[in-house]
A and B are shown apart, each in its own frame.
Chain A
Amino acid sequence: MKLTLKIWRQESPTDRGRLVSYDMPDAAEDMSFLELLDILNQRLIKKGERPVAFDHDCREGICGSCGFMISGVAHGPQKLTTTCQLFMRQFKDGDTIVAEPFRSRAFPVIKDLVVDRSALDKIVQAGGFISARTGSGPDGNAIPISKKNADLSMDAAACIGCGACVAACPNGSAMLFTAAKISHLGLLPQGQPERKQRALRMVTKMQELGFGACSNHGECEAVCPKGISIDFIARLNRDYMVASALETMEPVKKV
């Protein structure tokens, strides 16, 4: 199939950037989108041009490295699919496809399609953990967990930290990402002792980092490649409200 790619080219964080058009006369249905970019890059290198920079690693939809806007949609048109798992059979001969980096205040562009998502790590560092020192846990079966809660916790834990939810949100909010972590841990008995502090710390950090507020657009859920449900945001809001009423935020402590 013949396709036209319009790709955002930006030399550096300070460069203004622009869309550049490339003809791809030999795309095939069983190629992934990233494999098509590989082919383009091989061609650009041979011509003495600079190849397109894009983040990727596992290429099987689990590491969360890949991701950009494909014709205006984070990760592209196929539901529940990361960019690396998007195959060209989702497009038609003659299509023009626009690839642009995730755009959000908290994700500055580094180069071409590569953005800096380290703000997501900072949210986790603020409180997205259970403080169980190595060696301190009781026997794994000492704490039975209902299958229902374990399954729901796993639904939330499936988040790959790709940041598509942030990119899709008109406010640039990281609520879905944060809610997924809060719900994953908050649904487990092990996560209870730090539950309130976790909500206070993570939400506060999120605001500090320049992510916007949530006004229930639901765009995040629509693009999330792992199907993280927006219901988890309600859970986060509940945890945060309860925590704000009962506790004040404390810094993370060694012991």
Chain B
Amino acid sequence: MELNSKVPSGPIEKKWEKHRFDMKLVNPSNKRKYKVIVVGTGLAGGAAAASLGQLGYEVEAFCYQDSARRAHSIAAQGGINAAKNYQNDGDSVFRLFYDTVKGGDFRSREANVYRLAEVSNAIIDQCVALGVPFAREYSGYLANRSFGGAQVSRTFYARGQTGQQLLLGAYAALSREVALGSVKMFPRHEMLELVVIDGHAKGIVVRDMITGKISSHVGDTVILATGGYGNVFYLSTNAKGCNATAIWRAHRKGAFFANPCYTQIHPTCIPVAGEHQSKLTLMSESLRNDGRVWVPKKAGDQRKPWEIPEDERDYYLERKYPSYGNLAPRDISSRAAKQVCDEGRGVGPGGRGVYLDFSESIGRLGKGVIEARYGNLFEMYERITGEDPWKWPMRIYPAMHYTMGGLWVDYNLMSNLDGLHVLGEANFSDHGANRLGASALMQGLADGYFVIPYTIADYLTKVKPGSRPGVDHPAFKEAEREVEGRTKKLLSIGGTKTVDEFHKELGQVMWEYVGMGRNEAGLKTALQKIPQIRERFWKEVRVPGAGADLNQELEKAGRVADFLELGELLAYDALMRDESCGAHFREEHQTPDGEALRNDEKYAYVAAWEYKGEGKSPELHKEPLEFENVHLAQRSYK
């Protein structure tokens, strides 16, 4: 199948403007005749549902938490980028675009990234209007901080709780629409199937997580904004409930999954404490502005950090990347940490950690300044580790964090399945092979506030108002039966192992063979092991209880079953992409100093996978990538 990205013609600065004019508008009196299903109410889905409700569409929105305010966007700490250039330090829309394409290691679609940079400023304005209490300078104007992968200061923030405040803004806008009746909100509802009729996405099947009731919801179009799939690694910085079920079910129904192997490991997380570890906690990357990363020069050095003199410390990021230093991009910093730990120079229990040391900045700026900047992060670190970071330098280690891959979408954010739109972390669109800090919040809100309201109108002008089917359409009944059958099956296996045991086993395979460093042999091992785990899962899992009430084990079981399929596709994509790029590091392909070595001749494309049925190999569709505005170059942060 020919993948048409539908990128408008013309110079990059004019594409979006031209496209907005070329797209058709829905007659205002017709808007309320269209129903839009929005799955997910994080930044992307929340912003979309609120904006579409305001425009007059009938919206139904779903989330698995008990309230829309709890989507995992809430946990983003560091900030959101915009090209305001309020600092007068040389930023511009083009520079934000350039940095993002380069940061993504030339594996993203230029036109999408440009549009993202272009609407970034309107996002800040909208959030301020909604009452987001961004940090301010004494002048009363908005403050900025720096983030990895950029030499300008363009990140807007609200203490260490930027995601929370942005989400509460979108949630407030959404709540207003709920009050007005334009959006109907369904919390504690999990989407378990997508319904496609004659090639058009027309609705979903959900499970009411309190009563267990399975029901169908019909729409003229469906939006998935269900977040990332990082939990395929079991341990990650994602919330426990984050899952791939919505996008995976859509994939099984025909939506292409793009670049599943582009998964980002975050360099600054609290190291694993033990077997019982249930998730990993991110320490905001902003800490790298003032913290210096180091390990002892000598392997196996057991001395306390303050007993190690300066000249026996290796500030390896500053040494290897003099111009970006501790602010080197995430993939590079993560691999550098793994490398020094592999050399036996790691610190803390198990030797899987590096120091993040603030003593130099405390000396230079005073404790007060550091406390004002990062006080809450220091507290969080102490609460979790029991160590006082004012005395001991923090210990950090990389952890699975963000997924650049996701469902394939065109410029209009529509997947290859007609009528299925995908927003936020759930799509693959803007970050290429590596996402820069503070760009995911930007993308989620760009998609939800400023892109989908336009492109969905253009789509709906092609759908006859009032033509959508009813819930009694055979396709819905069939999908409900499938969901019920799957639920029954999970409950009836009655094996001896828990869902978590399988999830952990999968996670270990993913981390070991499909994590920070990948190679052919390892990936082949993973491709052998994952189907075996999956097979055992369907024979040996024990899911207690029944389907007709709140059953958290059943919820987990469905999600893990899908991860067990997605994990295989992820490893397969990683194997087939025989190059290194961004966060996808194939050990076979590196420069003499250990940097990712791309192969643009063979791999400058988006790998969009088509599902071919259980036990069958997926089929690859390529979307070639062209770089007309940012010239393909070896990324360098030296």
Taking Cβ atoms with an 8 Å cutoff, the residues of A that contact B are: 12, 28-32, 34-36, 38-39, 42, 44-46, 48-51, 53, 55-65, 78, 80-81, 85, 87, 89, 110-111, 114, 116-118, 120-121, 124-126, 128-141, 143-147, 150-151, 153-154, 157-158, 160-161, 184-185, 188, 190-191, 252-254
Contact = CB atoms under 8 A, between A and B. Distances in A.
Interface in B419-470: 449-450, 453
Contacts of B380: 60-61, 85
Contacts of B281: 59-60
Given A145-B140, A158-B164, 6 more contacts: A42-B501, A59-B278, A61-B380, A80-B379, A140-B142, A154-B135
A50 to B, nearest CB: 6
A61 B77 CA distance: 12
Given A143-B128, A147-B140, A34 B278 contact: yes
Interface string B123-149: 011111111011111111110000000
B51 A144 contact: no
B304 interface: no
B122 to A, nearest CB: 7
A157 B134 CA distance: 11
A254 B134 CA distance: 27
Contact of A28 (B70, B142, B274): B274
B538 interface: no
Query: Which of A44, A46, A63, A89 has its CB near the most chain B CB atoms (within 10 A)?
Result: A63
A35 B277 contact: yes
A140 B138 CA distance: 15
B445 to A, nearest CB: 10
Interface in B491-541: 496, 498, 500-501
B553 interface: yes
B581 to A, nearest CB: 30
28 contacts: A32-B384, A39-B276, A45-B498, A46-B542, A57-B65, A58-B72, A59-B239, A63-B74, A64-B69, A85-B380, A85-B383, A118-B66, A118-B67, A120-B67, A121-B67, A124-B69, A125-B175, A125-B176, A134-B50, A134-B173, A140-B124, A140-B125, A141-B86, A150-B135, A153-B131, A161-B70, A184-B131, A188-B133
Interface stretch (B350-358, B543-551, B591-599): B543-551
Interface in B37-61: 47, 50-51, 54
B344 interface: no
B386 A45 contact: no
B131 A185 contact: yes
A190 B500 CA distance: 47
B635 interface: no
> Which DSSP category, helix, strand, loop or mixed, fits chain A's interface?
loop
A57 B141 contact: no
Contacts of A154: 133, 135, 158-159, 165
A58 B280 CA distance: 10
Contact of A35 (B75, B128, B135, B276): B276
A154 B67 CA distance: 21
- Interface core residue of A42, A81, A133, A136 (most chain B CB under 10 Å): A133
B84 interface: yes
B70 A63 contact: yes
B413 to A, nearest CB: 16
A32 B385 CA distance: 10
A9 to B, nearest CB: 13
B180 interface: yes
Range, interface on chain B: 35 or more
Contacts of A143: 128
A61 B367 CA distance: 25
Interface in B15-51: 47, 50-51
A109 B496 CA distance: 31
A64 to B, nearest CB: 6
A155 B241 CA distance: 28
A160 to B, nearest CB: 8
Contacts of B65: 57, 63, 65
B441 to A, nearest CB: 14
Contact of A134 (B54, B70, B124, B240): B54
B178 interface: yes
Contacts of A61: 380
Contacts of A160: 164
A187 B156 CA distance: 20
A150 B172 contact: no
Given A62-B164, A63-B70, A111-B550, A87 B386 contact: yes
Given A51-B552, A118-B66, A134 B134 contact: no
B239 A130 contact: no
Given A161-B67, A252-B179, A57 B72 contact: yes
B72 to A, nearest CB: 6
Nearest to B545: A50
Nearest to B551: A53
A129 B66 contact: no
Nearest to A112: B550
B140 A129 contact: no
B168 interface: yes
Contacts of A150: 133-136, 140
Given A42-B500, A135-B126, A31 B75 contact: no
B171 interface: yes
Contacts of B496: 46
Q: Which 5 A-B pairs have the closest CB atoms?
A: A137-B129, A144-B140, A129-B172, A132-B129, A154-B133
A93 to B, nearest CB: 16
Contact of A130 (B131, B187, B450): B131
Interface in B215-263: 239-241
Contacts of B621: none
Nearest to B137: A147
Nearest to A254: B180
B576 interface: no
Contacts of B133: 150, 153-154, 157, 184, 188
Contact of A157 (B168, B383, B542): B168
Which of A85, A118, A131, A132 has the most chain B CB within a 10 Å cutoff?
A132
Contacts of A49: 544
